[in-house]
Amino acid sequence: MFKKILIANRGEIACRVMRTAKRMGIQTVAVYSDADADALHVRTADEAVHIGPAASAESYLVIDKIMDAIRQTGAEAVHPGYGFLSENAAFAEALEKEGVAFIGPGIKAIGAMGDKIESKKLAHAANVSTVPGYLGILADDTEAAKVAREIGYPVMIKASAGGGGKGMRVAYNDDEVVSGFRSAVNEARSSFGDERVFIEKFVEEPRHIEIQVIADKHGNVVHLGERECSIQRRHQKVIEEAPSPFLDEKTRAAMGAEAVALAQAVDYSSAGTVEFIVDADRNFYFLEMNTRLQVEHPVTELVTGLDLVEIMIRSAAGEKLPFTQDDIKMTGWAVESRIYAEDPYRGFLPSTGRLVRYQPPVESDTVRVDTGVYEGAEISMFYDPMVAKLCTYGDTRIEAVDRMGEALDRFLVRGIGHNVDFLSAVMAHERFREGRLSTGFIAEEYPDGFHGAPVSEEIENAMRAVAVAAESAYTERNRMISGQTPVSDRNLPQGAWMVRHDDAAEGADAHAVDGGFDVTIVGMTYAVH
């Protein structure tokens, strides 16, 4: 087993990899830019190496700087996390030449799956279901319109080297193909340095469901079930869950078998994800394969009981998978919400600044927080705006969703804009709770943007109870300071507090108990601690 690994990443994923490595007795090395000098992943690692200016193009994306850090520290292996160099075949090749293990798949698999056009050809050859489309290189917008008509509208224009929703456009007619082709080409060129785009059929009422695969270097490949990632905004995932509320056992088994077949076709090792689009009739079509760990991997860990990072490390060290497909069971339900530094009330504009207050909910067997920040840390303009990933587990989907709602209510963030209110609204949304999901959920349910969510009468009364408890605590504190008899010792009449709302008033009682107050309002008693 490795004695020291370097994590070629930052933020919450770097911290998450370090957590497993330390549990395994492996020393960890962090790399950091100017902007991350005081970052949590730097504080968490056993060693840290400065690799350059804040801009990722001058630090985290520079292979030579990562290689220098490896040589300085004597790291035997590198975990790339996700993003940055995680799917860069040139980086994996540089590590191989240096004799350093890459905690990820082989160069062949990274290269084959990194090109969307070539990956679809490989998938087709491996008898994996693919979306009808044209996988040739489109010469211009005229050819794009001709191909789109042959496929049949609507169509999706996609960048071959794309990811994260960049270089993607949906078109319903020739004019939209022409404009979409031009903008997709421009965005692909600026984002990836590769202007190639292709066209495929756009699946309406789609669900985004992905299969987690894991493999060793001895040819063993298994799948760990699926994740539903349909709740997206501008092609970026927001909420994920495992399993999917839509799949039946037959479809799950078929998707899993195709994912394993594709992985075997490219001699895959380590953790990877095969992404599918699924229509209303449970027909599924291959989208792409991500040759890395996914942001949403914790939900799979919660329902399988496996540590994917540990399996990746052991696979890279040459160990065989300690289980077969028959050993894999999904138990219960898990949901993940991505806490972003963005303002949902202002069109989800990015937010930067200092985390004046940062208090995530307490972790437990049913609540997990993966984060790369701390109270007082800075949210920089240079990197992804994710603050944390909040995951909850339950025996049933509704139990996991309800726990997520409760955990979000306990997530305190001040100093920056954040999307906690929006995530809470989604958890309470009837359509979401019923599992009627699609990739268009957010656009369909919030067509004019997010402006808050209606509050139930029960929640309103609970908020009034909190107000009464806060005022009671304030009053009692003032009385104690002045030497008067505490409120809790006084024999106050019923309805001593009056709570006004919408020109109406309700009487409320507050009784001090250990750690807080029991507040009675409109016949209900609330424990406010």
Residues with catalytic roles: 288
Contacts of 321 (CB under 8 A, 6+ apart): 214, 215, 216, 220, 222, 311, 315
CA dist 229 and 212 (Å) reads 12
CA dist 281 and 33 (Å) reads 48
Report the phi/psi class of residue 72: left, alpha or beta, with left for phi > 0 and alpha for psi in -120 to 50: alpha
CA dist 184 and 181 (Å) reads 5
CA dist 472 and 492 (Å) reads 12
Edge-to-edge strand list for the sheet holding 133-134: 133-134, 197-201, 155-159, 168-171
DSSP-derived 3-state class of residue 212:
strand
Edge-to-edge strand list for the sheet holding 524-528: 497-501, 504-513, 516-521, 524-528
Q: Which helix (H) or strand (E) holds 111?
A: helix 107-114
Closest CA to 510 of 500, 527, 501, 502: 527
Helix axes 116-125, 249-265, angle to 10 degrees: 110
Q: Identify residue 119 by its one-letter amino acid code.
A: S
